[in-house]
Amino acid sequence: MATLLDQLKEMTVVVADTGDIQAIEKFTPRDATTNPSLITAAAQMPQYQGIVDDTLKAARETLGADAPASEVVSLAFDRLAVSFGLKILDIVPGRVSTEVDARLSFDTEATIAKGRDLIAQYEAAGVSRERILIKIAATWEGVMAAKVLEEEGIHTNLTLVFGLHQAVACGENGIQLISPFVGRILDWYKKDTGRDSYAPAEDPGVISVTEIYNYFKKFGLETEVMGASFRNVGEITELAGVDLLTISPALLDELHSTEGDLPRKLNVDDAKASDVERIDMTEETFKAMHAADRMATEKLQEGIDGFAKALETLEELLANRLAELES
């Protein structure tokens, strides 16, 4: 009997959610996603020290021997996610998602500038922009930045999606792909209700992604829906049939080593028959729906803060490593 992973790949595009290049080689996903936490974790693995060192040395070479260490670290920091992305693109046949600095999540113009810069780095390395998704937090300001980038032919992945209002705003503004989170929604509900567990079909994160998928397919929104942030295999199998799923190496391994029948749970025909109603998504509607959704409000801010903290850790790591290299 085929493994769950093999069957899943027949109906959903499987994406590796990691900066660990060796894990990506093992599971042969089509695409890969990274985020500040994953890049920071990978940068601390001994096997990737060379990527970090080469990025720091190249930044020093660009700026010259007299440049302050702080400027070298800042430039290396801007380049490191692309350095990992380039290595990943040597392995995956499809796309890699590279994230804009989370500290810019409420600054439309700065996010646009950073997205253009990341694409310029990839194109300077000979990579087509078609293979890159610029990852941006799904604030209203982030959606507006992504809309401008999409109009320039720079494709985006809007992340930290916890509510239908975020997803609809992306779908109506021509965003290439969204990453609605599953496990982090489950975490919130378990903490809020005191409940220990949910069956996969009752999992609030699964229900959220299903609602988003059905809405997009019913109303013909072309944005790709990629479920993200999983706590267990049940959440993944319950979303079989969604456009894409980005999965951690540990859960990919579990899917790879488990045999059994995997039925399709999501499909376009059922979505079109669903009774979801269309929302006219304006900035006012977005902000009202967001304010009314305590879970989405808390988890979006928590996600942005968590990624910002990971970036600060990475900056510190780079500063310490540069000092070692130049001592």
The rounded distance, in Å, linking the Cα atoms of 77 and 81 is: 8
The rounded distance, in Å, linking the Cα atoms of 228 and 160 is: 9
Give the residues across from 178 on adjacent strands: 158, 225
Q: Give the CA angle between residues 148, 75, 312 to the nearest 5°.
A: 85
Other Cβ atoms closer than 10 A to 199? 9
Q: Give yes or no for a contact between 120 and 151, defined as CB atoms under 8 angstroms apart.
A: no
Do strands 132-137 and 156-161 pair parallel, antiparallel, or not at all (unpaired)? parallel
Kindly list the catalytic residues: 135
Six-digit token string for 4: 């769950």
DSSP string, 289-312: HHHH-HHHHHHHHHHHHHHHHHHH
Where b means 16+ CB within 10 Å and e means fewer, 261-292 reads: ebeebbeeebbeeeeeeebebeeeebeebbee
Where b means 16+ CB within 10 Å and e means fewer, 106-127 reads: ebbebbbebbeebbebbeeeeb
